[in-house]
A and B are shown apart, each in its own frame.
Chain A
Amino acid sequence: MKLIEINQLTKTIKNKTVLSNINLTIKKGDVCGFLGPNGSGKTMLLRAISGLLYLPSGSITYSSPTTKGVVIENPAFLNDLTGLDNLRYLASIRNKITDQDIREAINSVLLDPDDQRKVKAYSLGMKQKLAIAQAIMESPELLVLDEPTRGLDAESVESIRTLLHSLNQRGTTILLASHNLEDISTLCTRTFQMENGKLVS
């Protein structure tokens, strides 16, 4: 069953074409991996699918209103709040989950929901895990993850892969951009290569 249809998507920023004539169909339950060198357009494509880019040329159509969980590279939080409070803040936008759901999401990425430290004291890896927790906490239908295992230790990488696999088993569609070939090969059912803003294979 079709979830997203991308047609002739082209995006130019500051006179530079960052995405060029992208055509792609993503089905429900797919785990799609995007590979490519730096600047090839992987992150831009994920931004476009997440709704973060204005798209005057081409289209991205969802078969139905779809809830998304998004992690784009170098996630940023409200530094003066704890990890739990950051997620409570975000959860209050949709107002659909309980405090217990938020705690479970934090636990599932191997962080402590009762950690009283502010996010500004978090390491890069902890911020990355918190970003994944915010993406999954509301059980979205689509997960858009840009370099999800970046900055994580081996144990955490393994646990995040297991987590993503189990979410996919429950029907979540996952889009993944990574330099880590192992992430792509162990998780993805479809793989796409990008180069100079184009899907080449």
Chain B
Amino acid sequence: MRGVIKRIWLRPKVFLIPLFLICIFNLLFQKQIFERNMTESTSLADILTYQFNTYFYIHLFFLPAFIIESVSFFCESKFTEFTMTRSTDRKSYFIYKEKELFIFTFLYRLVEIIVSSIIFILSYLPHSLNLNTFSLTSIIQRLLFVSPKTMLEMASILVCVQLLIFLYYLFFAHIILYADCHIGNITVAAGIAIAMDFVLLVMIKANYWFEDSFLLQLLPHHNTFLEYVFAKPETYYNFERILIAIVYWIVIGIAMNIAVYKGIKSKDFVYSFDSSEREIV
């Protein structure tokens, strides 16, 4: 872990631009949630729980920023010759990449949570510092179909939601690594991930197409956004349902791991003469 942190630390520029973007996106997103709440005081729990249900902001702003950031960090082009030959074999190179991907995504998400909280605290909390800030307001409860009764239940919701978001980001990081392995061009890798991001946004917008389909529960947004996870009355904050969503992303994560491993195992790390882009072989 220390190695990955050191590598991120050595490339502050990679983090500065996304950090700036995260701040801007948070201001926009928090403005929206304040407007939605209008009559009630927005709480920090609202911000942290509802953030990922603002599909528009997530898919058009937060995820593309993460994708561009990940591409510039993971896809090393010809520099890979130096990183790869420091591993004893393909398996250890795969483990190195996976570890890097996992820690990077975790830290990125941690930065997003901290920035969200700081912006909320700076802009809002001085006016209403009370314990209610750690519970969901009724408007958000109705929107997300959750109604935590105890502090413990609220904490479990927050942990589960953050875990779901983390797994969702991890999925996109894997898409980038997979595309980079198989196609060998960082621009194309970023393009594929962003295209996937937009496809998922379209799926959400066109959700009504799938409403009668037996595949409904297998769709990604039905396992990520609480509004869909708890869409039916019988699933109204059902811990079992959120556990299924977590398992869903873990299974997808494992499948992506296998795909990336196969890609790394059978790849020729051959690069073109003059360009830093990969030669496709």
Is the pairing of A and B real?
A: yes
A interface residues with partner B (beta carbon < 8 Å): 13-14, 47, 50-54, 65-66, 68-70, 72-78, 80-81, 85, 88-90, 92-95, 131, 134, 138, 144
Taking CB as reference atom, which chain B residue is nearest A74? B273
**Contact for B269 among A53, A76, A77, A92, CB less than 8 A:** A53
A53-B266 Cα distance, complex, nearest whole Å: 8
A80-B73 Cα distance, complex, nearest whole Å: 12
A73-B78 Cα distance, complex, nearest whole Å: 10
A175-B16 Cα distance, complex, nearest whole Å: 42
A151-B13 Cα distance, complex, nearest whole Å: 30
The reply to whether B266 and A54 contact each other, CB–CB distance below 8 Å, is yes
The reply to whether B81 and A92 contact each other, CB–CB distance below 8 Å, is no
**Contact for B10 among A14, A54, A74, A89, CB less than 8 A:** A89
With known contacts A70-B85, A88-B6, A94-B86, A54–B265 Cβ distance under 8 A: yes
Which residues of chain B have C-beta atoms less than 8 A from A144's C-beta? 85
The reply to whether A13 and B270 contact each other, CB–CB distance below 8 Å, is yes
Residue B274 interfacial (CB < 8 Å): yes
A152-B75 Cα distance, complex, nearest whole Å: 29
The reply to whether A72 and B79 contact each other, CB–CB distance below 8 Å, is no
Interface range on chain B: under 10, 10 to 19, 20 to 34, or 35 or more?
20 to 34
Min Cβ gap A114→B in Å is: 16
A75-B273 Cα distance, complex, nearest whole Å: 9
A66-B86 Cα distance, complex, nearest whole Å: 10
Min Cβ gap B251→A in Å is: 28
The reply to whether B273 and A52 contact each other, CB–CB distance below 8 Å, is no
Min Cβ gap A107→B in Å is: 19
A72-B101 Cα distance, complex, nearest whole Å: 26
With known contacts A78-B79, A81-B11, A92-B6, A51–B86 Cβ distance under 8 A: no
The reply to whether A134 and B82 contact each other, CB–CB distance below 8 Å, is yes
- The proximity string for B residues 78-104 relative to A, scoring 1 for CB distances below 8 Å and 0 otherwise, is 110111111111100000100000000
